[in-house]
Structure 1
């Protein structure tokens, strides 16, 4: 039975790894768990500890302690592989140590090229793949001096933040200081990208790579919310198999080949412009926003378990999708929630799999500016894209909220 060190393994991943024959050493940071799970963090880590064969806690921001924890786990657990299954911000040290110890499933450079938006853009330019005009800035104050080479609007974004944080459609240079304030709120002071604005429907390509062969699990249609923040209102999986979606998927595979990705999941975002598909970005992980759960409902294929089958060298076995899955995000008035009704009625619908409504009476409903400030979601299924969108609208109509939209004392409205 192979031994696997997993950094930041989500609870469900451990059981799925064990079902593929792995013994697990789990490494977590309590501060990260607190950020993700709040009051439930302690219980969550207790559950991880109970399921894993070995369990370690370390501060991921302490580079020396973090990397030594991985080395110790590999040594004491006699690990065959190291795999980071969490967010991009702590991936690179794990993969660098894994490569140092001969336990890496991917070259660190391939992970860096996928996760770093500037590195990816530079590689694509150098290889002549899906060229998109871009420029780099050291700080937001430098962006104005780059705009003469572009036609407004342009997309401005940090090179390493995920979840749409800091990505902004800039139509007026006068908006730059406000964008700078947003970056500061994320404590981001790294390099920035200025990119031409790509117009067209947006997709993501979900893949699993096994021994260097990239298997397309499906193409997801992304439903974007109002600009300028590029926050998704939902995802529909799978997009029908057409010449256009095949071209979208082929471009994602070309990127994975170019970076030398050899094993595991990737989530690659592509816009279908009037001149053909163009790459937006990619990550060396499963797609967020519950896309694997939506895909499993549509196809019966468990991408999370598929990660560990891929590590064992087993290619995914895919059947024709049985239905279409949809995650639709709720959009509520901004203010203080007074009451809500209709939640039980929604949960009773036979096409609804999951309803998440994260607010209780008295909670403040924020403006949606990134993936963390959305207002809950429903996951449902239907026969086709038109039906799931209609069903999502039905759910939204059933949920009735009373919101006090008055601004709290002392709060300034921008």
Structure 2
């Protein structure tokens, strides 16, 4: 059974790895676990430790300690590979260290080209793929002078943050200082992107790469919430195969080829404009927002296990057709929660797989400006089509009543 050092393996990955023949030494940052799981983080890490063959805790922001933790784990376990398919912010250094050790699943450069929004946009421009007008700035104060080359509105975003954080549709330069405050609150000081605003339906392409060959697992339709923030209010997996979705999927594969990606999952976001599909961004990991759960509900295909099969060189794909998996997010008026009703009625519905509303009276419902500030979600069992799935989600939203102060 080969040894694998894995950074940030989620609990759901560990049993899948063992089923595909891997022993996992896990590396986690308690602070990162706290950001993801809140007060449940200590118990979450205890469960990771119970399921893994070893657990090392380290501060991912301490580059020296983080690199040393990876090196010592490889040295002590004889691991053949180091893998990181968690949060992008800590991914690059892991691949650089793995490359030095001859244990990288993918080259650091290929991962950088996918995860970093500026690097990806530059690669696409240089290859003549999915051309999108863009400009870069080092500070938000420098953005206004770049706007002469664009027609408002434009999209402004940090090059190296995930989960829609700091991404904004800018309609007036007067909104730049508030955006600057948002970036400061996120402690972000890296490169910034100004991009033309792409109009059209938005999709994501879920892929699994095995020995450099890219397999499309399916296309997910993204349902956006209100602008100016690009926060999804839901996802529908199982978009019917049409000429348009084949174009969308082919473009994602073209990006993966250009980046030299060799193994594992990728999640590529694409907008189908009047001029054809255009790539928004990509990540060298599984899709977030529970998309792997939707794939399994819709098709029965275990994409988390398939990820480890890919590492072992084995190819597996979902059957064509199937149902539609749907996750719908809640967004209520912000304020102090006074009361909530209807949750039990929702749980009693036979098409509800999972319901999450992590608030109690007295808690503050924040304004929804990123995926981290949404107000919970419902995952529905497979529906016959998108219309049925969305009607079911509307029924769930109608049942939940909140009162805020």
Q: Is the 8 A contact 2:217 2:317 kept in 1?
A: no
TM-score (normalised: structure 2): 0.99
Equivalent residue, structure 1, for 2:107: 107
Distance 1:32 1:165 in 2: 16
Distance in 2 between residues matched to 1:352 and 1:10, nearest whole Å = 24
State the distance in 2 between where 1:33 and 1:402 align. 31
- Quote the residue 1:157 is aligned against: 157
Alpha-carbon distance in 1 for matches of 2:230, 2:24: 37
Unaligned runs of 5+ in 1: 405-414
- Distance in 2 separating the partners of 1:38 and 1:148: 43
- In structure 2, the residue matched to 1:395 is 396
Matches within 5 A, 1:91-170: 91-170=91-170
Counterpart for residue 299 of structure 2: 299
Q: Secondary structure at the match of 1:267?
A: strand
What SS does structure 1 have at the residue aligned with 2:362?
Answer: coil
Q: Distance in 2 between matches of 1:168 and 1:271?
A: 16
Q: d(CA) in 2 for partners of 1:179 and 1:111? A: 28
Report deviation, 1:41: 1.3
- 5 Å-filtered alignment, 1:14-413, equals 14-380=14-380, 381-404=382-405
Cα distance in 2 for residues equivalent to 1:131 and 1:85: 28
Contact residue 10 and residue 85 of structure 1 kept, 8 A? no
Q: Number of aligned pairs?
A: 404
CA shift for structure 1 position 400 = 1.6
Partner in structure 2 of residue 410 of structure 1: none
SS of the residue corresponding to residue 281 of structure 1 reads strand
Q: Which secondary structure does the structure 2 equivalent of 1:50 belong to?
A: helix
Structure 1 residue 85 displacement after superposition: 2.6
- Bigger Cα displacement from structure 2, 380-389 vs 32-41: 32-41
After superposition, the C-alpha distances for 1:212-254 in whole angstroms (9 at most, x for unaligned) are 0101010000000111001001000111100000000000000
Q: How far off its partner does 1:322 sit?
A: 2.3
TM-score (norm 1): 0.96
The 2-side partners of 1:99 and 1:157 are apart by: 30
Judge conservation of contact 1:221–1:239 (CA < 8 Å) in 2.
Answer: yes
Shift of 1:297: 0.3
C-alpha deviation, 1:320, in angstroms? 2.4
Any conservation in 2 of the 1:235–1:328 contact (CA below 8 Å)?
yes
SS of 1:216's equivalent? strand
**Structure 2: runs of 5 or more not aligned:** none
Q: Name the structure 1 match of 2:11.
A: 11
**Separation of aligned partners in 1, 2:53 and 2:156:** 44
Distance 2:85 2:251 in 1: 25
After TM superposition, the runs of 4+ consecutive aligned structure 1 residues lying more than 6 A away are none
State the Cα distance separating 1:317 from its structure 2 match: 3.0
Does the 8 A contact of 2:85 with 2:284 survive in 1? no
In the TM superposition, residue 403 of structure 1 has moved relative to its aligned partner by 1.8
Mean alpha-carbon deviation: is it higher for 29-38 or for 251-260? Answer: 29-38
